[in-house]
Amino acid sequence: MFVVDLPETVTVPAVAARPSRLARFRRGIVPYLYLSPALALLVVWTYRPLLQALELSTYSWNLLPTAPMRPVGTANYERLLQLPAFWDSLGRTGVLIAGMLPFTVVLPLLIALAGRRVTGRARTIYQAFIFAPFLVAPVAAAAVWRWLLHPGGGIVDRALDSDRNWVYDATTAHGVIIVITGWQLLGFAVLVVWAGLAGISGDYDEAARVDGATPSQIRRWITLPLLSPTLLFLVLTTVLLSPTLTFPLIDTMTQGGPAQATTNIYYLLWDYAFHSFDAGLSAAAGVLLFAGFGTVAGLLVWFSEKVAFHDD
């Protein structure tokens, strides 16, 4: 018969006291306190003006402080959708975005991939040379390009042995705006692609080389898929920002002409407000523009998340 001695008392470790509701509230509110300055600025400078624009789009007003604001309901939207200039400007905006994509996606990708072969101090000079146009003010760039494209005596005409008025010719004016804007944004886009390439581990390339993959196969099947979120980001910024960034060039060089050849949707709503003094119509165009581009941005973000999840 075996006798087992058991301890008279068993010590139970103390259970940590649950934090009080006030302590949990304090811990939970800390992240929002850090975000509150940014949220306040977002409300003041983004959401409040958006609501004011939505309200203004239901009024007829000529921007004069002494003139009454007359409520018209949805009449501004109905009138806007019946204007041929609105649909023409949307078409030119689409052409602008399509013309900008080679400068913000294709060329930056090629330049960044070629720049990986540049090493040492030459790499720094190469990057500075590519990024420099982005630092030029749009108004200064417009002045220089008007001099370069001056009909007859400009450097471009002398180089091409032509006498074309590039800026004031309806067949070339829009292309000039696209090229100048693309020239300025090229450096920023290349910088974004460089950042994306820097985030790709070199272990993938080494493993592929061990398996016998060629450099072109590595770029096609490894680098480009891993870089796809970066490229989609560039597409998104091109869609959202290109029409806005062309405004200084258009206002300085062409004023929307000739024959509205360079009037995109952003310049049109500005023209309605400050040339035609139709604040309600301009606000309606801005609301429709926000809704349209917001939908496109949402679709691109959804697609980029699907691509990123697929890559993972």
- Is residue 12 included in any domain, yes or no? no
Residues 181 and 99 in one domain: yes
Report CA-CA distances (Å) from 127 to 106, 119, 120, 121, 235. Answer: 17, 11, 11, 10, 22
Residues 36 and 114 in one domain: no
Residues 28 and 62 in one domain: yes
What value, to the nearest 5°, has the Cα angle with vertex 178 and ends 252 and 139? 25
- Is residue 11 included in any domain, yes or no? no
Band (219; pLDDT cuts 50, 70, 90): confident
What is the reported pLDDT for 311?
54
**pLDDT tens digits along 157-209:** 888 878 888 888 888 899 999 999 999 999 899 999 988 888 888 788 788 88
Domain span at 105: 86-311
Number of domains within the chain: 2
Q: Does pTM top 0.85 for this prediction?
A: no
Residues 199 and 279 in one domain: yes
Which three-class secondary structure string do you get for the chain?
A: CCCCCCCCCCCCCCCCCCCCHHHHHHHHHHHHHHHHHHHHHHHHHHHHHHHHHHHHCCEECCCCCCCCCEECCCHHHHHHHCCHHHHHHHHHHHHHHHHHHHHHHHHHHHHHHHHCCCCCHHHHHHHHHHHHHHHCCHHHHHHHHHHHCCCCCCHHHHHHCCCCCCCCCCCCHHHHHHHHHHHHHHHHHHHHHHHHHHCCCCHHHHHHHHCCCCHHHHHHHHHHHHHHHHHHHHHHHHHHHHHHHCHHHHHHHCCCCCCCCCCCHHHHHHHHHHCCCCHHHHHHHHHHHHHHHHHHHHHHHHHHHHHHHHHC
Rounded CA separation 210/221 (Å): 15
Residues 57 and 91 in one domain: no
Band (96; pLDDT cuts 50, 70, 90): very high
Tokens of residue 216, six digits: 């072109």
Instruction: Please state, rounded to an integer, the average pLDDT across all residues of the chain.
Output: 84
